[in-house]
Amino acid sequence: MLTAFARAFKTPDLRKKLLFTLGIMVLFRLGAHVPVPGVDYRNVQMCMDQTKSGQGLFGLVNMFSGGALLQITIFALGIMPYITASIILQLLTVVIPRLEALKKEGQSGQAKITQYTRYLTVALAVLQGTGLVATARSGALFGGCTVGNQIVPNQSIFTTVVMVVTMTAGTCLIMWLGELITDRGIGNGMSILMFTSIAAGFPTALWAIKLQGNLMGGWLEFSLVILCGLAMVALVVFVEQAQRRIPVQYAKRMIGRRSYGGTSTYIPLKVNQAGVIPVIFASSLLYIPALLVQFTGSKADWAEWIQRNLVKGDHPIYMVTYFLLIVFFAFFYVAISFNPEEVADNMKKYGGFIPGIRAGRPTAEYLSYVLNRITWPGSLYLGLIALVPTVALVTLNANQNFPFGGTSILIIVGVGLETVKQIESQLQQRNYEGFLR
């Protein structure tokens, strides 16, 4: 593998792509440390040292921003508005006929959907930026911090507008950097930036576990976490690569004097067909009750029940609800992202069939049956992986951003595998050996 990396850097055009991607990643991380105008950076650092309560409520967005959210920098919103906009457009494609027609138009239609995604990203960035500024001004961003309400000393309308515009511009810049990586670098740009944000928090989280440990100066806990992480990476790689291959044969067709078809191929159905989307959906949905209580400031019985059962990640009710939501959203997302009837119609149109299954409706029913069967282990796997940080929170007294688990490990491994595959394909195009010999 090291030899393959050396060959990748020896190839001039591939080396330029790799160095360009690394340069964008460095620039992205630099922007995550530039404070927004109007923020008292000393008070922010003081609050981060005093309390970690903000990480429980805003942990998901803070993870996707590489820790920039709680530091209120120009990249505080991170790539989360773009992810949310992409998911919303993907869901609306199933509901709105106009978007569905654009999707079927091919490259031109996809370009139009991408443009809509950009507009929606800007709107969501303005909305989320306004909410973040309001939360920071009220002191709720760091609950329990003595100087929490002094993070934004000047609370004039002009200062608020400047802060919101700055963070929105930061999100647009991130979106542009991601598209630059896609066009001129290696891999999917947005995924690479997401990978960078999450990986940036690994050293801090691992060192915090070492400092909190009691055995052998914390080195024993640190070593156990590393071993656990390696085992989880191996498990995630195994499941992410697992797929059910449905054999498909195409009949021969004579068009003029030429013969087409007569080939055999397969439909790859992944065990984890939904990816990391169900975990993001479930996490976001569970944050809504806590946000409602925080912004209303209610002391009613329902608010106390939410604070007691749905805010702390180590509560059994929270864990069971989180697990069930992940399983539900796994089936929901697979149902809207993979249409067996459409696949069966396309196969029938081009003379394809599954051996032993009649074309048309029986093929669609068979694909739906197989997909439901393999989605069960995929959804259970997602739920168990997502609960790893909660278990670590109880056993190791780690923070809720435990590095090896949940959304972070799924994205790190998924993006890593996809990037390696793209580099390997480019190496093989130049008659070199890939990473896997």
- Which residue ranges make up each domain of the chain? 1-200, 202-404
Question: Above 70 in pLDDT, residue 393?
Answer: no
Q: Higher model confidence: residue 154 or residue 370?
A: 370
Is the separation of the CB atoms in 435 and 1 below 8 Å? Answer: yes
Question: Span 175-185, mean pLDDT?
Answer: 90
Q: In degrees, to the nearest 5, what angle opens at C-alpha 80 toward C-alphas 74 and 84?
A: 140
Kindly report the average pLDDT of the chain as a whole number.
Answer: 80
Please state the pTM of the whole predicted model: 0.79
Half-sphere exposure of 392 (CA within 13 A, CB side): 28
**3-class DSSP assignment, residue 73:** strand
**pLDDT-derived band of residue 257, with 50, 70 and 90 as boundaries?**
low
pLDDT at site 122: 93
**pLDDT-derived band of residue 51, with 50, 70 and 90 as boundaries?**
low
202-404: which CATH topology? Preprotein translocase SecY subunit (1.10.3370)
Q: Which of 63-72, 168-177, 214-223, 398-407 has the highest mean pLDDT?
A: 168-177
**pLDDT-derived band of residue 177, with 50, 70 and 90 as boundaries?**
very high
Is the separation of the CB atoms in 145 and 50 below 8 Å? Answer: yes
Which among 81, 86, 71, 314 has a CA at the least distance from the CA of 200? 71
Distance CA 47, CA 160 (A): 20
pLDDT at site 53: 43
Q: pLDDT for 296-343, tens place per residue?
A: 666 777 777 777 777 666 677 888 888 898 999 899 888 888 888 888
E strand intervals along 157-213: none
Q: pLDDT for 121-164, tens place per residue?
A: 999 999 988 888 888 887 777 766 766 667 888 878 888 899 99
Buried b (16+ CB within 10 A) or exposed e, 256-284: eeeeeeeeeeebebbbbbbbbbbbbbbbe
pLDDT at site 54: 42
Torsion angle, CA of 395/401/405/408, rounded to 10 degrees? -170
Q: Which of 136-145, 147-156, 197-206, 235-244 has the highest mean pLDDT?
A: 235-244
pLDDT at site 431: 62
Question: Above 90 in pLDDT, residue 120?
Answer: yes
Q: Higher model confidence: residue 313 or residue 74?
A: 74
The secondary structure of 343-378 as a DSSP string is HHHHHHHTTEE-TTS-SSHHHHHHHHHHHHHHHHHH
Q: With the C-alpha atoms ordered 337, 340, 342, 348, is the resulting torsion angle positive or negative?
A: positive
Q: Higher model confidence: residue 88 or residue 144?
A: 88
Q: Higher model confidence: residue 33 or residue 122?
A: 122
Q: Which of 48-52, 61-65, 364-368 has the highest mean pLDDT?
A: 364-368
Q: How many CB atoms neighbour CB 415 within 10 A?
A: 22
Looking at residue 84, its amino acid is T
What tokens were used for 43?
Answer: 């008070």
Question: Above 90 in pLDDT, residue 172?
Answer: yes
**3-class DSSP assignment, residue 79:** coil
CATH architecture of 1-200: Orthogonal Bundle (1.10)
Question: Span 75-82, mean pLDDT?
Answer: 87
Q: Which of 16-30, 67-81, 307-321 has the highest mean pLDDT?
A: 16-30
Q: With the C-alpha atoms ordered 388, 390, 394, 400, is the resulting torsion angle positive or negative?
A: positive
Question: Above 60 in pLDDT, residue 436?
Answer: no
Q: How many CB atoms neighbour CB 137 within 10 A?
A: 21
Sheet with 352-353: strands ordered across: 264-270, 243-250, 352-353
Q: Higher model confidence: residue 56 or residue 230?
A: 230
Which among 70, 88, 68, 87 has a CA at the least distance from the CA of 78? 68
pLDDT at site 213: 66
Which among 263, 245, 192, 197 has a CA at the least distance from the CA of 17? 192
Distance CA 391, CA 318 (A): 12
**pLDDT-derived band of residue 376, with 50, 70 and 90 as boundaries?**
very high
**pLDDT-derived band of residue 260, with 50, 70 and 90 as boundaries?**
low
Distance CA 178, CA 175 (A): 5
What tokens were used for 6?
Answer: 């050396």
Question: Above 70 in pLDDT, residue 105?
Answer: yes
Distance CA 273, CA 336 (A): 11
pLDDT at site 350: 78
pLDDT at site 155: 79
Distance CA 399, CA 393 (A): 6
Greatest alpha-carbon span in the chain:
83
pLDDT at site 67: 72
Distance CA 209, CA 83 (A): 30
pLDDT at site 164: 92
pLDDT at site 223: 82
Distance CA 368, CA 362 (A): 10
Q: Higher model confidence: residue 398 or residue 322?
A: 322
Q: Tell me the C-alpha to C-alpha distance, in Å, between residue 370 and each of 248, 267, 269, 275.
A: 14, 11, 9, 18
